[in-house]
Amino acid sequence: MKLKEYYKESFDILKNKKILVLVMFSIYILAFVSSAAYHISKIQPNEKEAINPEKEKLKQEAIKEYIKIRIFQESLDIFTHNTLASLIRIPTGLLLGAPPTYSVILSAYTTSGWLIKKVSSKGFLPILRYLPHVIIEAIALTLSSVLGVMWFLSLLKKDRAKRLKQTIKNSIIIFLTIILPLLLLSSILETVSLLI
């Protein structure tokens, strides 16, 4: 099979599971919005972090120099972490599909909390540099959770062993053609955003 055919097959598989994909992304969006509302309600007026401009500038310069020296290693570390998080979500779906779903909610909660904290302390414009990697990473990790739930759902059908085997094959194809490239792109963007 050519790479182009694998991509086509991956998108066809996801298209056939579009309701599950929409449900998981809806869960992510609902968790993100409700978490953002919660975190916003916890912000006190004028609670901005007391930032010493000189100290902050020195800190940012030190971070940039450190990352310039270790840029490849930093990207590799981020990529490895996200890939492992993604891989864990898939087989844990066999446990009633709960762990991948919980991972989507937890991911949305932590991401929105982090973004709200950044906005409250530094304003909206500085966080724009993080948004591309956050969005791409959220898509990749949510798709991993979709695969995990697909594993569980394959156990509910007749011919379980055959269905699970086919679902595992489909998951590998989707992981290698869609999720892994998204995680690689996300790790590169995250490292670059630290340099800006």
Q: Check: CB of residue 91 under 8 Å from CB of residue 148.
A: yes
Cα separation, 109 vs 36, in Å, equals 8
Kindly provide the b/e burial profile for residues 24-39, where b requires at least 16 CB atoms within 10 angstroms of the residue's own CB. Answer: bbebbeebbeebbeeb
Q: How much is the pLDDT for 59?
A: 79
Nearest of 178, 183, 189, 140 to residue 8 by alpha carbon: 178
Q: How much is the pLDDT for 51?
A: 64
Q: How many domains does the chain have?
A: 1
In a domain, 139, yes or no: yes
Q: How much is the pLDDT for 67?
A: 72
Identity at 192, one-letter amino acid code: V
Q: How much is the pLDDT for 135?
A: 95
In a domain, 44, yes or no: no
pLDDT digits (tens, 9 = 90+) for 99-146: 999 999 999 999 999 998 888 887 788 788 889 999 999 999 999 999
In a domain, 157, yes or no: yes
In a domain, 100, yes or no: yes
In a domain, 18, yes or no: yes
* Structural domain boundaries, residue 127: 3-39+54-195
Nearest of 82, 114, 89, 119 to residue 103 by alpha carbon: 89
With 0.75 as the threshold, say if the pTM is over it. Answer: yes
In a domain, 48, yes or no: no
| Contacts of residue 102, Cβ cutoff 8 Å, sequence gap at least 6 | none
What are the structure tokens assigned to 143, written together? Answer: 């798709």
Average pLDDT, the chain: 89
Q: How much is the pLDDT for 64?
A: 75
In a domain, 136, yes or no: yes
Tokens 């906005």 locate to 119
Spell out, as residue ranges, where the chain has pLDDT lower than 50: none
